């Protein structure tokens, strides 16, 4: 089945009953940068989250895990400028952030999702959060999604905010998201924070299943630099304000919800890949005809993760041999002699490889195709129905510059 949905404005405040805000509280030195965000639901929500696979995990993850173990939450508080990771007092500070938010919102601290992003290994100053929490809560509004999205940015250069609308059982529901992610991004729960809201009625167990399914083809299919961070989290709050019958099992309603959630997550993931540190291009690895979906995913990931290919994309160089090389070491079960490759963009499409061997093509046309801001590498095998997409970016001089002085 194919769900009909439309993208709409509004981000995390597009769903009914959600408000958000974002302010500068003083964690970041630059006073023009917002550094503290808050999202609040007008009622108790089903809650779910997935986290980084890094063994080193930020303190907020441990606190959030405990808080939403019962599948319930009403608010999200997040700071930027400091990751609150590898600190002796990290969990104490993360819990204090929950208490601060709860005090201002009139809820229990156990019903708060907490997150932090920024430099690792520096003690998080809690005083700026305590002193400005009243302003943060007081500025909550149904138009505050963008301010919250700005407040969670670190090296991001673009705000990442999306929302979609669909119907379940004749009831309109919405899903909204804000995210941050620019560097230290790699598949298997990429380096990122993403906060999702929805007014659909869905149980916590089914919400977690839907989130895992969506992340598998979106956030786990992006890569900027091969580094998996310590604070990665995707969380989702579902308020039920849409009035649909609660989704408590798999079926048509669950599939509709999953498709809408996946669409929002994919669009957000692509925005993160496009905004990779120093990046000038979004690179999409599109695989068709693989033996199965798993092999297609392996190939797509390997191609967009290739440092050599990423450098070639920066130089608009149609070096298709690097595509085959990445497929060859990917570990996928495939016949390398049955691979076709083409480069595509809004400037056109150029085929560069057939059956694992090079074919004649216009270097001039290829240069034009690869000079656009969004490039798709089409990889076609002839072995089955497996399909997958992965999202990455080019590798530029600026990536080294940004990370050479990240702390200073």
CA distances to 45, 110, 114, 118, 121 from 84, rounded to whole Å, are: 26, 19, 11, 8, 7
* 265 membership: H or E segment, kind and range: helix 252-274
- Is residue 352 within 8 A of residue 359, CB to CB? The reply is yes
Provide the H-helix boundaries in 68-144. Answer: 90-105, 127-138
Torsion 133-138-140-144 (CA) sign: negative
DSSP letters for 192-261: -EEEEEE-S-B-HHHHHHHHHHHHHTTGGGB-SSS---SS-EEEEEE--TT-PPPB-SSSHHHHHHHHHH
Q: Write out the two tokens for 247.
A: 């989704």
**Is there a catalytic annotation at residue 191?**
yes
Which phi and psi angles does 35 have, rounded to 5°?
-140, 10
- Is residue 295 within 8 A of residue 388, CB to CB? The reply is no
97 CB-near residues (< 8 Å, 6+ apart): 60, 77, 79, 112, 114, 126, 129
CA 48, CA 37: separation in Å to the nearest integer? Answer: 19
Q: Tell me how far apart the 2 most distant CA atoms of the chain are, in Å.
A: 68
Which one of 19, 191, 230, 268 is the catalytic residue? Answer: 191
Report residue 99 CA to chain centroid gap: 27
- Is residue 10 within 8 A of residue 38, CB to CB? The reply is no
Strands 6-7 vs 160-168: parallel, antiparallel or unpaired: antiparallel
- Is residue 248 within 8 A of residue 203, CB to CB? The reply is yes
CA 397, CA 376: separation in Å to the nearest integer? Answer: 22
CA 372, CA 369: separation in Å to the nearest integer? Answer: 6
The catalytic site residues sit at 191
């Amino acid at each position: 089945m194919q769900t009909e949905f439309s993208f709409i404005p509004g981000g995390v405040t597009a769903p009914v009953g959600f408000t958000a805000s974002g302010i500068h509280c003083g964690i970041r030195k630059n006073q023009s940068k917002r550094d503290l965000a808050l999202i609040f639901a007008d009622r108790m929500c089903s809650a779910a989250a997935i986290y980084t696979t890094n063994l080193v995990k930020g303190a907020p993850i441990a606190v959030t895990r405990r808080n939403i173990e019962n599948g319930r939450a009403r608010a999200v508080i997040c700071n930027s400028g400091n990751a609150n990771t590898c600190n002796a007092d990290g969990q104490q500070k993360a819990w204090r952030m929950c208490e601060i938010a709860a005090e201002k919102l009139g809820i229990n601290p156990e019903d708060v999702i907490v997150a932090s992003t920024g430099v690792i290994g520096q003690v998080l100053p809690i005083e700026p959060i305590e002193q400005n929490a009243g302003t943060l809560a007081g500025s909550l509004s149904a138009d505050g999604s963008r301010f919250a999205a700005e407040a969670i940015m670190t090296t991001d250069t673009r705000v990442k905010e999306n929302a979609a609308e669909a119907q379940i059982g004749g009831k309109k529901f919405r899903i909204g998201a804000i995210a941050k992610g620019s560097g230290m991004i790699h598949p298997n729960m990429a380096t990122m924070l993403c906060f999702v809201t929805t007014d659909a009625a869905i149980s916590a167990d089914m919400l977690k299943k839907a989130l895992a399914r969506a992340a598998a083809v979106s956030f786990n299919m992006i890569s900027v630099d091969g580094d998996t961070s310590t604070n990665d989290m995707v969380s989702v709050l579902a308020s039920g304000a849409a009035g649909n019958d609660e989704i408590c099992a798999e079926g048509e309603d669950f599939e509709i919800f999953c498709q809408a959630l996946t669409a929002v997550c994919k669009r957000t993931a692509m925005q993160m890949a496009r905004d990779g540190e120093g990046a000038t291009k979004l690179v999409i690895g599109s695989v068709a005809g693989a033996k199965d979906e798993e092999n297609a995913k392996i190939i797509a990931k390997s191609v967009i993760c290739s440092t050599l290919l990423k450098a070639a994309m920066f130089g608009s160089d149609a070096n298709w041999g690097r595509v085959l090389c990445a497929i060859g070491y990917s570990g996928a079960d495939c016949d390398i002699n049955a691979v076709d490759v083409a480069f595509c963009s809004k400037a056109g499409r150029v085929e560069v490889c057939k059956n694992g061997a090079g074919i004649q093509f216009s270097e001039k046309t290829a240069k034009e195709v690869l000079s656009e801001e969004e490039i798709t590498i089409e990889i076609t095998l002839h072995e089955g129905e497996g399909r997958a997409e992965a999202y990455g970016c080019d590798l530029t001089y600026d990536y080294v510059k940004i990370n050479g002085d990240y702390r200073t």
